[in-house]
Amino acid sequence: MLNLVDLSRTDLNLLVLFEAVLEERHVGHAAERLNLTSSAVSHGLSRLRRLMNDPLFLRTPKGVVPTAGALELSAPIADVLARVRNVLSAAEPFDPASSTRRFTIGAPDGISAVLLAPVLGELARTAPGIDISIRQLLPTPGETRPERAWRGAFADLDDRVTDIAVIPTGHIPERFHVGGLYDEDFVVAMRAGHAFADEPTLARYCELQHLVVSLGGDPHGFVDEALARLGCTRRVALTVPNFMFALAILAETDLLCALPRRFAAMHAARFGLESVDAPLELTRFRINAVLPKVALMDAGVAWLLVILEKAQPPLPPAGRSSATICALQHGRERF
């Protein structure tokens, strides 16, 4: 990208400016982030455009959008900056006890709702100044190929919108580091006292009405694929956009819903729900922490990965899980 002659007369802070504009998609916001004026950022972009021989960013009513050339440059520039930051940080090693950094973790809500409590507990003990942002991740609607379903999450990592993505797939491009966290399966959740808990047969399961978690409202999911292999179908009476919303709806209806086992164990009791093993074989998912390999050179991000690997909640036992039993374990009875 740059030859030795260019380096001798080029301000490498222009790469930092490029990074800020790429992430903010707005010259004014990038200026605020860099403590510069908007005119200084515009002037720097002009110099960078001449250096790269590309417009880099095009103005729109809402800010700027990167050109194809800018997107092509984003990965190598991020790599250069990460390496420089790693060299500079060697003089002042990352110390979680005193750090005030903010990290962004991307994950579906059924995963973040399981990991967040133990992560926050660890931060309170060892890194009280560190802040966390959670970015909701969802598979691409209508995408059936596993290797492309989470391409939005990979794009966020490439663009450094997220530091680490936690997603339920093993189809991950080679440029990323993968840290396995835990295996997850699904249970059937319902309101406490639901008759299905006493007769959790496949026939009864197909007769009843169901709730499906789907951001785009698509009622067809992996459960329907499993049913189809058995020559069965079900009625999906309602879709909702996230798992936490599903808990509230289940508490007030007779609907059934397939929920991640750990998620149900941690949160269902608060809504007066219970769960049973599904009467058919459902897909098990490997939950992986994913980040660019180059990001491991950032001691803070590498530390965060270790925290996530430690934050695995215990796997609840298979079989029926009663809200009443869970509540009694916490010293209160709920009906």
Q: Which residues pair with 186 in a beta bridge?
A: 260
* 335/327 Cα distance (integer angstroms): 9
* 83/298 Cα distance (integer angstroms): 8
Query: What string of pLDDT tens digits covers the 335 residues of the chain?
Result: 444 445 556 677 899 999 999 999 999 999 999 989 999 999 999 999 988 899 999 999 989 999 999 999 998 898 888 877 766 655 567 899 999 889 999 999 999 999 999 999 999 999 999 999 999 998 877 666 766 789 899 999 988 889 999 999 999 999 999 999 999 999 999 999 999 999 999 999 999 999 999 888 889 988 999 999 999 999 999 999 999 999 999 999 999 999 999 999 999 989 999 999 999 998 888 999 999 998 998 889 999 999 999 887 766 665 555 443 333 333 333 32
Phi, psi at 66, each rounded to 5°? -75, 145
Order across the sheet with 186-191: list the strands.
257-260, 186-191, 273-277
Extract the runs of DSSP E, i.e. beta strands, from 48-185.
Answer: 57-60, 63-66, 102-107, 131-136, 164-167, 176-184
* 32/172 Cα distance (integer angstroms): 35
The structure's pTM equals: 0.67
Answer whether 215's CB lies under 8 Å from 190's CB. Answer: no
* 305/308 Cα distance (integer angstroms): 5
